[in-house]
Structure 1
Amino acid sequence: MVEQGEPTPEEIDRAEQALLLRRFDADDAWWLGCRLRDHAAARHAPVAIEIRRAGTRLFSVVMPGATQDNLAWVDRKIAIAMRFERSSYALNLMFRAGDGLFERFGLNRATYAPAGGAVPIRLIGTGVIGAAAISGLAQEEDHGIVIEALAALKAHQGEASA
């Protein structure tokens, strides 16, 4: 059940579909990662940030105040986002506190975390090729920061080709 004021999983899916990118290479990952890092630094947010493409870590940073535990959460959030090709926040809203998710799909809680903060990176005509994730704030904040940064990347790519 979705609480009042929270988006539905379907609303999250629609918002993410609007963020289809034309490309995503190491330079784009660097641009996106720096944008996420600058956002966190401006707010003194104790977060871990990671961006992966096809399983390869392209950007990773642990901000002051964040710990190895935040990196472990990033791993688990990315794992679930990649497995289901949906954001970890949408999955959290669908399966509150993992109710039924782990049993239904035979998932290991040490490997997967349905907690907001990991968003799949999708290419036009290709689909999901990676994910960007943050861990350290409330899950809806983690998710929102990644969504904002991906929207900025999409706009940046449009400007670069104009």
Structure 2
Amino acid sequence: MENITIQKKLEKIKEQEETLLFKSFSNENALEIGLFIIESAKKFNKSVAVNIVKNGQTVFHYAMDGTSPDQDEWIKKKSNVVFRHHHSSYYMKLYNKLKNRSYFEFYSVSPFEYAIHGGAFPITIEGSGVIGVITVSGLSQEEDHELIVEAITKFQTSLL
């Protein structure tokens, strides 16, 4: 039964990754999405750190009051997963759980450099591929992931 639930979550995340694409992505877009994530967290009285990297450059970073330097470490590790696999960190967690294998052993990576916890989502340009990552740290991994998905969805809706 658990594998069916994991499979359904994987399918949902894969669909998000395939539909939440950008035609282009500017630093101004990063600011807008980053601020939306911060405002959403405030509505729930939650503290998060947000980081957005585009083409190797950090174009947005904010750590709300109540976060710690530890969040920056989680951001680096979760972002590394996206840069390596071009999938969200939550997708990779569930994918490896479904396969019943250790991510770290299978991919020969260090838990000091990679974290397969939800909260890092690829910035994918239609026709080009992954050019960056949006990462949130501070909530449960599913909530971190959903904050990003909600922000990208709202951003895309505002363009219509």
**TM-score, L = length of structure 1:** 0.90
Kindly report the root-mean-square deviation, in angstroms, between the aligned alpha carbons of the 2 structures.
Answer: 1.8
Select the residue among 141, 144, 153 that pairs with 1:142.
144
Q: 1:3 to 1:135 in 2, by over 3 A?
A: farther
Residue 12 of structure 1 aligns to a residue in which SS? helix
Q: Do the aligned residues in 2 keep the contact of 1:54 with 1:129 (CA within 8 Å)?
A: yes
What are the residue-to-residue correspondences of 1:64-103 with 2, within 5 Å? 64-96=65-97, 99-103=101-105
- 2:159 equivalent to 1:152: no
Deviation, 1:25, is: 0.8
Aligned partner of residue 30 in structure 2, secondary structure: helix
Q: Is the 8 A contact 1:2 1:8 kept in 2?
A: no
Which position in structure 2 is the counterpart of 1:130?
A: 132
Structure 1 unmatched ranges of 5 or more: none
Q: 1:149 to 1:6 in 2, by over 3 A?
A: farther
CA shift, 1:63, in A, is 0.9
Deviation at 1:102, TM superposition (A): 1.1
If the length of structure 2 is used for normalisation, what is the TM-score? 0.91
Partner secondary structure for residue 95 of structure 1 = helix
Distance 1:93 1:75 in 2: 19
Tell me the SS of whatever aligns to 1:112.
coil
Structure 2: gaps (5+ residues): none
Q: Show structure 1 runs of 4+ deviating over 3 A.
A: 1-7
* Structure 1 counterpart of 2:119: 117
Counterpart of 2:81, as a letter, is I
Residue aligned with 2:12, SS: helix
Q: Distance in 2 between matches of 1:88 and 1:115?
A: 6
For the residue of structure 2 that corresponds to 1:49, the secondary structure is: strand
Q: Percent identity of the aligned residues? A: 31
Match of residue 32 from structure 1: 33
